Structures are given as structure tokens and as C-alpha cells.
Chains A and B, each alone.
Chain A
Amino acid sequence: MFDDRSPIYRQIADRIEAEVLSGALTGDEQVMSTNKYAAFHRINPATVNKAFQQLVDDGVLYKRRGIGMFVHPQARQALRARLRKSFFADVVDPMVERARALGIELPDLVERITQQASEEER
């Protein structure tokens, strides 16, 4: 579930962000307490704390003192906006590089995308 190959707090934060993006976690929904999360996934509680704190700092979660951690109502929008910004650098550019490496002409790439767009319109 969580592996030893990259910082675990980052893996936890990524996973929760993914759940927010997909809608599995909705705005103002309460997330599992850090202790429960740590026990459930068999992870060091300090690491979980760090992840949740990072998510609070990023505006994905907010804390209600004495009650617990909740998903920020704007979290999904904020995450989508963040990912939209980096989409071109993280996804499109590497895709273009890969196409070039395989010898695919860029016009062919553009035609494929246009095709998808017109299918969508129908």
C-alpha cells in the first residue's frame, strides 16, 4: 500500500489528494483521524501528522479543534486548478518528447486530438 521507495508523507498526501479529485472525499467531509489512519495503514503517526499538516498548509484539509480534520470545500477546485497549471509541463511536453522519440509527426498528433474534439461535440 505505502512503500519504502519515496517519502511516505508524500504518498499519503498524494493519495488523499487523489481521493478529493475523484470525488471519493467531498467538501466538508471528515477524514480519518491521524491516529486511526496510522493504525489502519501501519504507519508511523508522526509521518501521518506531517502529511495531514502539509495538506492543511496546501488548503486541501482544515482542522476543527477538538473534532478532527475535514476536506476543504474548495479543495477539489483548488487541486484541479493546480494540476491544470502543471498539466502542460508535466503531461503534454513529455508526451510530445515521447512522440518525437518514436518518430511520430506532430501534425499526426494534432490530428488525433482534433478527432477526439469533434467526437466529443457529437
Chain B
Amino acid sequence: MTPSIETAGLTMRYGTAPALADVSFSLSGPKICGLLGRNGSGKTTLLSVLAGYLRQSAGTVLVDGEPVFENATATGKVCLVRGTGDASSPRVSVRDLIDFAGRLRPTWDAGYAAKLLEMFAVPLNRTPKTLSHGKQCALGVTMGLASRAPVTIFDESYLGLDAPSRYAFYDALLADVLAHPRMVIIATHLIEEVGTLFEDVLIVHDGRLLLHDDADTLRAAGTAVTGDATLVDSFTLGLDVLNEKTLGRTKSATVYGPLDDRRQAQARQVGLDLGPIALQDLFVHLTSGGSR
């Protein structure tokens, strides 16, 4: 199964304000991707358009080469879980909701769903309205996992789970993706926790796609240059500096972009300390402030 997603010039306007502007990217093959972005950056809008929940104002969205909106061939391949899930209704029992899923999704695995609900301790005969937020999230996450949809998207859906449940989710996700390869997109704020699962990372900022890169490449993309302030300034001249912190005469600057061996040697010679930048910090620095 090699599902693919392709968007070109994707734009979404609510009134005059653009929620998404000219977003173009493509993803293909079974993999786990991370979608990062601040609140209000357009993450949920982008994912909603990918799933056919919304129709875009302009541009194209293709799943396996087919336009998505109101196209059963494409939408049938996508399962989007937003928050506690749209495949849930406050007054319908969990058992019935699971039954509906089985009837509406051809790829649904009922046995797997039952196992997951047991693992998360979600009672079958209650309605979502009577469940705690954590259990509602567990139900949503179960819907996504058991759907076995070729493109499965979790939009901050597991954030309501407590830490042990979150780790149980990551383990279940990884185990299932290994046994049944599919494309999984995870939109998250908990980058530190789930970052090791990502193969690709997309960052959305102010409705635009800021970058799309391999996760490991991004982990090497930033460097913290620390030392005497004047030395740091002259070293970072001409480089892409994302962030600077000063304490007395010491300055630490976050530089974006690879530093070749020559530059690294130069830094050591001058007595500057070079350190790595975690993915989460890189994200924070790239998306702080307004549009760049």
C-alpha cells in the first residue's frame, strides 16, 4: 500500500482572512509524518481539507491522484480524528458508534477496535457525553487506529490522554504501522514526546507551509553558538539567526542551516561552543513572532 497525498496552491479563505495560503506539498508511501504548527496556524484547516471535511477555496488536493472533496474513492481512504473525534456523537453509545464504524468503513477491524477499547478501559455501554475527556480521546484514537485507513490522521487527538495512555497509544500505533503499513499524519504540540516517531516533518505557520523536511535532517539543521557576545556576532554574520539570548557578556545564538567543517573548526579556534538544537526548540524559534 503506497498511499499518496498531493496538494498544489491550496488556499482556504473564511471571508477575507486566509486560513491557508498557497500550500503545496506531497507525501507518499507508508510513513509517519509530523505536522507542527502553533494554535491558529492552519493545521486543523489543512487536515480538514485533506479529509474532505471542507472544500478548499482554491488549489488542488489529491489522495492517490484523485481530488478529495465529495469523492468517495478518495475520502474512503482517509480517516481524520480531530480532537475527540467527529465519528462520535454525545448521545449514541460507544457500542453503537463502533458498530456504525464497521458498517461505514470497509477497512474497519472490529476485533482490533475491541482490543483497543479494552486497553484504554473505555466502557461500551456508555455514551461519550458521560465519559471523561480522556476516555473520549481514547475512543477517538481507537476510531483512527482501527479504521486501518491508508491515510490516518490524528489532529491533536491524543493530547487529552494521560501520560501512561499516551505511551500506550504510541506503542499501539507503532506496532500497528509495522504490521499494517499506512500513512499516518500526527498534528501535535508534544513534539518532544512523539518526535522520535516522525519520518517527515511539516511545519505550518500563519497559513503557509514553512518547511517540509526529513526529521533527522531537521535535527541537524540548527546549531546553538555560545560564547563571548562580540565573537558570536562576528561568527554569525551572514548566517540565518533565529534567536539570540544574552546574559552579561555571554551570548547564545540559534543558527539555522548547516555549518560546514571549516566553520565548525573556526568556531572551536575562537573558543565558541557549538551545541545541538532539539526539534522542539527549532520549531519554537522558527515560529515565534508573526509571519517571517
Identify the A interface with B (CB < 8 A): 2-10, 35, 38-39, 41-47, 50, 94, 101
A-B contact list, 7 entries, CB within 8 Å = A4-B192, A5-B278, A8-B219, A10-B216, A42-B197, A44-B198, A46-B199
Decide: A39 near B175, CB < 8 A? Known: A4-B195, A44-B196, A44-B199. yes
A4 touches B278 (CB 8 A): yes
Which residue of chain A has its CB nearest to the CB of B34? Answer: A44
Q: Closest Cβ of chain B: how far from A15's Cβ, in Å?
A: 14
Q: Closest Cβ of chain A: how far from B263's Cβ, in Å?
A: 17
Q: Report A-chain residues with C-beta under 8 Å of the C-beta of B198.
A: 44
B100 interfacial by beta-carbon distance below 8 Å = no
Q: Report B-chain residues with C-beta under 8 Å of the C-beta of A42.
A: 167, 170-171, 174, 196-197
Q: How many A-B residue pairs have CB under 8 A?
A: 62
Chain B, residues 114-145, CB within 8 Å of chain A (1/0): the string is: 00000000000000000000000000000000
In angstroms, Cα B197 to Cα A1, docked, is 13
Please name the 7 residue pairs, one residue from A and one from B, whose CB atoms are nearest each other, closest first: A7-B216, A5-B276, A4-B279, A4-B278, A5-B278, A4-B195, A46-B199
B contact residues, range? 20 to 34
Q: Closest Cβ of chain B: how far from A35's Cβ, in Å?
A: 5
Which residue of chain A has its CB nearest to the CB of B277? Answer: A5
Identify the B interface with A (CB < 8 A): 31-32, 167, 170-171, 174-175, 177-178, 191-192, 195-199, 215-217, 219-220, 268, 271, 276-280
A6 touches B199 (CB 8 A): no
Q: Report A-chain residues with C-beta under 8 Å of the C-beta of B271.
A: 101
A39 touches B219 (CB 8 A): no
Which residue of chain A has its CB nearest to the CB of B222? Answer: A5
